[in-house]
Amino acid sequence: RIDGLMNAAGGNMPGATIGPDQDLFDLNLEDTRRAVDLNLFGTVLPTTIFGRVMAAQGQGSIVNISSLTAQRPLTRVLGYTLAKKSIEAYTQWMAVELGLRYGGGLRMNALAPGVFLTEQNRSLLLEADGSLTERARKFIAHTPFQRFGDAQELTGTLIYLLSDASRFVTGETILVDGGFNAYSGV
């Protein structure tokens, strides 16, 4: 029996990121493709395997990890942005198909973290001495909570989406971003 699935495969590739001194067109297309493959197919593959079991059961909840970048494109990280936007499109498409084909017991949603300090983005957010980069200061200045998120702050939303409390929620993306996406800067 499988009641819930969290698809959290993800990451970026160095060549799928445009450095501050690079030309916009210096993008490494192979690394960009690899970033999309890792994120998107790292979500699709587990869904095809475990979703089949959930469909046979007639119920289950699948939560895909997206990113703030799918809602609000960020500079420099094109490959990651394309990948996470693809996950949100897949989430909506699959939610509709699951509901139409298997009824209301099977649903799919996405959780989109805002800016959390991780190993993946550490070099973009922290200088070698541990101080904030200019990019990090911009993120914090545009986040009403005035800080990065803590990974523990994703847990409540994840539990909600996996639980029966969200049994009438499907095809949605919930941002956990300290208000970053909502803030106009004014």
- E-state strands within 39-178: 60-65, 106-113, 173-176
User: Maximum CA pair distance of the chain?
Assistant: 54
Domain that holds residue 27: 4-114+149-176
Residue 52 structure tokens: 């089949």
Cα separation, 149 vs 179, in Å, equals: 11
Residue 151 is predicted with a pLDDT of 92
Q: How far is CA 129 from CA 13, 14, 126, 148, in A?
A: 24, 22, 8, 18
Mind telling me the catalytic residues? 80
CATH number for the domain that contains residue 79: 3.40.50.720
Cα separation, 107 vs 89, in Å, equals: 15
Asked if 30 and 15 touch (Cβ cutoff 8 Å), the reply is yes
pLDDT digit of tens for each residue in the chain (186 aa)? Answer: 999 999 998 888 888 888 888 998 888 999 999 999 999 999 999 999 999 999 999 999 999 999 999 999 888 899 999 999 999 999 999 999 999 999 999 999 999 999 999 888 888 899 999 999 999 999 999 999 999 999 999 999 999 999 999 999 999 999 999 999 999 888
Q: Is residue 140 part of a domain?
A: no
Residue 62 is predicted with a pLDDT of 99
Domain count across the chain: 1
Q: Is residue 134 part of a domain?
A: no
Containing 120, the helix (H) or strand (E) segment is none
Residue 20 is predicted with a pLDDT of 82
Q: Is residue 90 part of a domain?
A: yes
113 forms beta bridges with 176
Q: Is residue 144 part of a domain?
A: no
Residue 40 is predicted with a pLDDT of 97
Residue that the structure tokens 């909506």 belong to: 92
Residue 119 is predicted with a pLDDT of 86
